[in-house]
Amino acid sequence: MDSRPWLNYSIHTPTTPTPNNVARKTRKPYTLTKEKEYWTDLEHDKFVEAVELFGRDWRKIAAFVGKKTAKQINSHAQKHFKKIKKDGTNEYIPPPRPKKKAAHPYPRKAIQNG
């Protein structure tokens, strides 16, 4: 036996992880927080009318429709507009909102003539 303990390498502990020695995290089970809500024909008709009135203002449309949140309205609108484009119908699609300009854009480097 050697008196220098730093030379005693453990041959049983691998230096690189292998599938056998890696502890796996267990995933949380997927649970539905609430039942999926389908759009009624009345809600959809109100939605279409609200889009013509308010454009892409999801909060106003949500208030007009009644039972849906702005996020639900946004999601429904996305699917609805995609379907309109695919089917080629002449239903109204409001133009996208203009992009906001950055309040503090990154400074540009000055171009030096040389």
For residue 78, which phi and psi values (nearest 5 degrees)?
-60, -50
Q: What is the pLDDT of residue 15?
A: 53
| Cβ-contact 51, 77 below 8 angstroms | yes
Q: What is the pLDDT of residue 50?
A: 96
Give the domain ranges of the chain: 41-87
Q: What is the pLDDT of residue 105?
A: 73
What is the CATH number that goes with domain 41-87? 1.10.10
Q: What is the pLDDT of residue 5?
A: 58
**Residues of the chain with confidence (pLDDT) below 70:** 1-22, 108-114
Q: Is the pTM of this model over 0.85?
A: no
